[in-house]
Amino acid sequence: MKPGASYSASVRTVNADAPYAESEAVTFQTKKGVAPEKPTQLEAKAANNAIELSWKAVNGADSYDIYRAKSAYDKDGYKKSRLGSKQQLIRIRI
């Protein structure tokens, strides 16, 4: 995808025994500008029943999203935490 470009998307149902049905299309536009650099100097430290993650601040980042597995199995999905741009430390209870 290109910055500032417009795109549309729709979703189709799939069934081997019948024709498909399709949603109405939605149109969206990507943000202009370039993505901020990736966080560096990521460190993980064990704490009392928790893990602390820290990293170097990134110029231009509005926030940080932290994803962690809900369990050791992929099928259980992930939990997302959003941190403000000034926060470079999260304590995750285990």
How many structural domains are present in the chain?
1
> Which CATH number goes with the domain that contains 77?
2.60.40.10
Q: Is the pTM of this model over 0.75?
A: no
In the chain the beta strands, taken as DSSP E runs, fall at: 6-9, 26-29, 43-47, 50-54, 63-69, 78-84, 89-93
Beta bridge partner(s), residue 41? none
Domain interval for residue 79: 40-93
Tokens of 55: 């990293």
Return the closest-CA partner of residue 64 out of 32, 92, 87, 31. 87
| Distant-in-sequence, close-in-space partners of 21: CB < 8 Å, separation ≥ 6 | 12, 13
Residue 85, pLDDT > 70, answer no
CA atoms of 30 and 45, how far apart (whole Å)? 36
- By residue count, the chain amounts to 94
Indicate if the pLDDT at residue 70 is higher than 90: no
Would you say residue 88 lies in a domain?
Answer: yes
Residue 89: per-residue pLDDT: 65
Domain contains 15 = no
Residue 73, domain member (yes or no): yes
Residue 62, pLDDT > 90, answer no
Residue 67 phi, psi (nearest 5): -115, 135
DSSP 8-class letter at 86: T
- pLDDT score of 68: 82
